[in-house]
Structure 1
Amino acid sequence: MSKISAMMDTGKRSLMNSQTALQTTGHNIANKSTEGYSRQRVELTTNVPVSEGRLQIGMGAKASAVTRTNNPWLEKQIQKEGESMGFADSRADALSRVEQVYNEQANKGLNQYMTDFFNSFRELSNNPESLASRTMVRESGAAMAKDFGRVVGQLRNVQEDLDGQIITVVEEVNQIGKEIASLNEKIQMIEVQKTPANDERDRRDLLLKKLGEKIDITWAEGKDGQVTVTAGRTGILVSSSTANELKAAQTGDRDRVEIFYTGTGTPANITSQITGGRIGGALEVRDNIIEGLLGHVDKLAYTLAKEVNQAHIEGFDKNGRQGVLFFEMPEAVKGAASNISLNKTIANDVGRIAAGAQPGASGDNTVANVISSIQSRQVMDGTATLDDYYNTQVGQIGAVVQRSIKAQESQKNVMGQLNNIRESISGVSLDEETTKMIEFQKAYDASARLIRTADEMLDTVLNLKRM
């Protein structure tokens, strides 16, 4: 009787094992398209056997755990490469906007405005007495000064847009940090009972990847299953079940958004520590590339204004009066492109434009020729003309954009390969799950037959006693 009862117990456990396996298979199929999900399997172990004399009689199998198929080293590699992917995406997107500022093919650019300005002085040299030529000089000078402001304004607009993106991404980082801290607590509560927290760990791994795409982080898992996440070098975002926040705000020192870590009570500026993820890419373009371009266009505007003014002030206007400054001279190189403008005297009276080097000399075009020749002189540090200097900047930004796009495409390929490897290890295959489902269904049927057989044997024994 006891052995028949043991057979029924074995069959019952086998039924439960098959039922658990079928439920796990259904869970896998339902999460086929869930991002970050790792397929799960029921781990079966042999049940403790029963000893009878010299014999050990097996007692079937039991489900020891439901585990997820996962490679933690691959997950960490994907997270690190995702950080580079976020950086490359952000950098390429921002640089493509910067490139449009210098797009000389689609629109009339600064180079063409400078050429028109110097060409107007060449036209004036051909007819120094012409008011129409002088008017053309004034208009081309005003248009060129306006386009210097256009370049600066558009570059500043890109910086402001990047500031807005940084603020948005920092808010997303804070939200992800809070969810990771909550998952830390859940995982600890589940695993303290020696039960794997599979779904919670999948979700946390996914959040760590998404967090790495936004900001460069380092993280480590402790013995209690909780992770500690640090942004940059010192910004501890998550520690145990506690989440600290970052804050993006402008400072009084510069008119740009900075990133502060608020976990220490007094906000600490960690902007210089952020070098990866989407925030790192935005900071790289905003603070390095665009600031460099602004410095170059300021230098170009300052040098052009200085050279034109030096020549123009030495000349004489249509009525024999001493020449005045052609441009309102910027006080310093920094900000020159924003501040360059026509002298109000010339803006109000084109007759004050100087063309000759002698007073009252009709047809004198000496100063007009000198100013027009500035375009071809190496006035930029004595090594480059104005055109060469500007075209070099255009060429450099074009090369930087192309490199960033290639880096973005290369990183996409790396991420694609890693995700394919992860999918082959942790992904759900519907064909495989269907096969497993049939296998577990057959095992369930066989277990039911074992129970039925044991029941029939028990009936036989009971009927023998009645005979």
Structure 2
Amino acid sequence: MSSIFGIFNIGKLALFANQRALSVTSQNIANINTPGYSRQDPILQSTAPLDGTPGQIGTGVQITDIRRVFNQFIQDQLTSQQSSLGRLDVEQGTLSRVEAVFNDGQGTGINQSLSEFFSALHDLANNPQGMAERNSLLERTRMLASQFSTANNQLEQVQKDLNAEIQGVIGEINTQAAQIADLNNRIQQAEISGQNANDLRDQRDSLLSSLAEKIDISTIKGDFGQVTVMAGGKPLVESRAYTLRAVADADNSGFVNVVFDSGNGTTTDITSSIGNGRLKGLIDLRDNLIPGYIDQLDRLAAAIVNEVNQQHQAGFGLDGSTGNDFFSPLAPTVTGFSGNTGSGSVAATVSNPAVLTFDPYRLTFAGGNYTLQNLTTGASTTAAYINPTTITFEGIQIGMSGVPANGDTFDISAHQGMAGSIALSGIAPNQIAASAIAGGVPGNNGNALLLAQLQEKAVAGLGGASFHDFYGQAVGQIGSHSQSVQRSLKAEKVINENLTQQRGEVSGVSLDEEAANLIKFQRAFEASARLISIADELLQTILEIKR
């Protein structure tokens, strides 16, 4: 009797084991198209045998584990690689917008307007007394200023859009960090109780990959499936999720910095510590790339204003006037740092336009002295501060007054904002200085010719380039950068595809394999049921004998 009941038990265990194996196979098939799903395998093992004569006899089968078919090294590589993909993808998209700003392919834009401006000057030189030529020059000048303003506004809008996207990405990071922390807790609870957490681990790995696309992360494995996530040198996920905040920076046009909130009242700015990911790309584009292109437009606009005004002041209009500016004159900007605590005041004007460099300057007060430094060349001057003080440095006159505090800092620029503010000075058509001499013979075009020749002049403030060459260099840099990013993105996508394929070869679900498993476990299930039926028939036979 015990042997027959043993057969019953073996059949029952086999029935349960194969039924569970069929469930695992069904789960694999159901998730064949689920991103990040890892195939699961039922691990079958014989149960403990019983001692007997002539030897031990088996007692059945059981599923000891449902194994997640997974390669941690490949997954870590795939997760890490998402950061480069995220950064390059946002760079490519933004550079496409920037290229459109500088694209003169439709016969419009700064380069075309600049050519038409100088063409109008040549027309004026050919007929210096013509009012039609003078009015045409003024109209072409307004068009040139409009093109500069449009390009500047478009780049500033790109910068604002990037700032808004940074805030959005920070919110997404916080959401995913909270989800990872929740999965950490659920995985821990499951595995402490002896359960596997395969599906939960898959979900967490998918979230980690998505998070890595936004910000470069590192992970530290802990007990019971716990993962600590580090970002920017700070823990983003430990036993709980921490929060990143978008905090406006008064010294950066009010754009936001990325600040880590510890939750205990202390915060840390980690903007400069973010090394990769979409967030890194957005920050670099907003704070470095776009300002660089705006600065190039400002330099070009300032150089045009400076060179044309100098030459125009030397000529004479039809009304005999001289010394007039053609464009509104340069107005150097002074920007005090938000952390300044003193009552010092700083103002700047152009003292010698012939030696302007269009480099950025920084004025710092410390120990009773002031230091003015050219941030491009490093040239500087230092002296004791006496209230008030006026100095002249590289064509800029700077007036200082009041009581600045130790460490107070001011940035000074002769060209900042010129692309957005370049404009005619309000000069009348008969005041355009085409003549090179006062009271010259009618039709004198000496100064108009000199103005037209500025088109080919090597301008010191533009590194020795002409206006057209400087603009062409800027366009070339944008195109070269865009091509470089496209090549890098293409290479990263190939790497990503290879890693994804490797992961699929290890963890992916094969329909053919799962179909074979279905048949295998189905047949085993049917055989187990038949075994129980046979055991029942044996038992009935024995019971009939006793009757």
Q: Is the pair's TM-score, using the shorter chain for normalization, greater than 0.5?
A: yes
Partner of residue 252 from structure 1, selected from 224, 236, 250:
250
Instruction: Report how far residue 249 of structure 1 moved.
Output: 3.5
Instruction: Report how far residue 54 of structure 1 moved.
Output: 5.6
Residues of 1 paired with 2:236 and 2:299: CA distance? 42
1:442-462 deviations in Å (ceiling 9; x for gaps): 000111111122222222222
Counterpart position of 1:351: 430
1:133-171 deviations in Å (ceiling 9; x for gaps): 111111111211221111111111111111111111111
1:148-197 deviations in Å (ceiling 9; x for gaps): 11111111111111111111111111111111010000000000022210
Partner of residue 442 from structure 1, selected from 498, 512, 523:
523
Counterpart position of 1:456: 537
Counterpart position of 1:424: 505
Counterpart position of 1:94: 94
Residues of 1 paired with 2:224 and 2:106: CA distance? 60
1:123 aligns with 2:205: no
Counterpart position of 2:477: 396
Contact 1:275 / 1:281 at 8 angstroms: preserved in 2?
A: no
Residues of 2 paired with 1:432 and 1:60: CA distance? 25
Partner of 2:295, secondary structure, is helix
Residues of 2 paired with 1:91 and 1:363: CA distance? 54
1:418-448 deviations in Å (ceiling 9; x for gaps): 1122122111122221111111000001111
Q: What one-letter code is carried by the residue in structure 1 that aligns with 2:59?
A: M
Counterpart position of 2:422: 340
Partner of 1:355, secondary structure, is coil
Contact 1:323 / 1:353 at 8 angstroms: preserved in 2?
A: no
Residues of 2 paired with 1:224 and 1:176: CA distance? 21
Contact 1:319 / 1:360 at 8 angstroms: preserved in 2?
A: no
Residues of 2 paired with 1:113 and 1:251: CA distance? 36
Instruction: Report how far residue 374 of structure 1 moved.
Output: 0.8
Counterpart position of 1:415: 496
Residues of 2 paired with 1:174 and 1:319: CA distance? 68
Contact 1:116 / 1:140 at 8 angstroms: preserved in 2?
A: yes
Name stretches of at least 5 consecutive residues in structure 1 with no aligned partner.
none
Q: Which has a greater percent of helix?
A: 1
Question: Which sits farther off after the overlay, 432-441 or 48-57?
Answer: 48-57
TM-score between the two structures when normalised by the length of structure 1: 0.96
Contact 1:380 / 1:386 at 8 angstroms: preserved in 2?
A: no
1:108 aligns with 2:108: yes
Counterpart position of 1:192: 192
1:322 aligns with 2:340: no
RMSD of aligned alpha carbons: 1.4
1:391-411 deviations in Å (ceiling 9; x for gaps): 011011011111112222222
Residues of 2 paired with 1:16 and 1:107: CA distance? 77
Partner of residue 452 from structure 2, selected from 367, 372, 392:
372
Counterpart position of 2:4: 4
Residues of 2 paired with 1:107 and 1:449: CA distance? 85
Residues of 2 paired with 1:396 and 1:170: CA distance? 30
Q: What one-letter code is carried by the residue in structure 2 that aligns with 1:152?
A: N
- Residue 99 and residue 454 in structure 1: after superposition, are their counterparts in 2 closer, same or farther (change >3 A)? same
Residues of 1 paired with 2:256 and 2:444: CA distance? 55
Equivalent pairs counted in the alignment come to 461
Q: What one-letter code is carried by the residue in structure 1 that aligns with 2:250?
A: G
Residues of 2 paired with 1:205 and 1:404: CA distance? 28
Moved over 3 A (4+): none
Partner of 2:297, secondary structure, is helix
Residues of 1 paired with 2:28 and 2:107: CA distance? 55
Q: What one-letter code is carried by the residue in structure 2 that aligns with 1:237?
A: L
Percent sequence identity is 40
Question: Which sits farther off after the overlay, 273-282 or 362-371?
Answer: 273-282
TM-score between the two structures when normalised by the length of structure 2: 0.82
Question: Which sits farther off after the overlay, 330-339 or 75-84?
Answer: 330-339
1:53-73 deviations in Å (ceiling 9; x for gaps): 561111121110112111111
Counterpart position of 2:375: none
Instruction: Report how far residue 464 of structure 1 moved.
Output: 2.7
1:45 aligns with 2:45: yes
Contact 1:65 / 1:195 at 8 angstroms: preserved in 2?
A: no
Instruction: Report how far residue 259 of structure 1 moved.
Output: 1.4
Residues of 1 paired with 2:67 and 2:75: CA distance? 16
Instruction: Report how far residue 3 of structure 1 moved.
Output: 1.5
Question: Which sits farther off after the overlay, 282-291 or 443-452?
Answer: 282-291
Instruction: Report how far residue 375 of structure 1 moved.
Output: 0.9
Instruction: Report how far residue 380 of structure 1 moved.
Output: 4.0
Q: Which has a greater percent of strand?
A: 2
Residues of 2 paired with 1:248 and 1:97: CA distance? 25
Residues of 1 paired with 2:330 and 2:167: CA distance? 34
Counterpart position of 1:27: 27
Instruction: Report how far residue 107 of structure 1 moved.
Output: 4.8
Contact 1:319 / 1:351 at 8 angstroms: preserved in 2?
A: yes
Instruction: Report how far residue 85 of structure 1 moved.
Output: 0.9
- Residue 83 and residue 394 in structure 1: after superposition, are their counterparts in 2 closer, same or farther (change >3 A)? same
Residues of 2 paired with 1:352 and 1:106: CA distance? 34
Q: What one-letter code is carried by the residue in structure 1 that aligns with 2:536?
A: D
Residues of 2 paired with 1:444 and 1:285: CA distance? 61
Counterpart position of 2:372: none
Q: What one-letter code is carried by the residue in structure 1 that aligns with 2:455?
A: Q
Residues of 2 paired with 1:101 and 1:379: CA distance? 24
Residues of 1 paired with 2:532 and 2:167: CA distance? 64
Instruction: Report how far residue 373 of structure 1 moved.
Output: 0.7
Residues of 1 paired with 2:318 and 2:266: CA distance? 66
Counterpart position of 2:289: 289
Residues of 1 paired with 2:194 and 2:62: CA distance? 16
1:219-271 deviations in Å (ceiling 9; x for gaps): 1211231111122222x21112x111112242222222221111252332211
Residues of 1 paired with 2:267 and 2:316: CA distance? 60
Residue pairs, 1:206-245, within 5 angstroms: 206-234=206-234, 236-240=235-239, 242-245=240-243
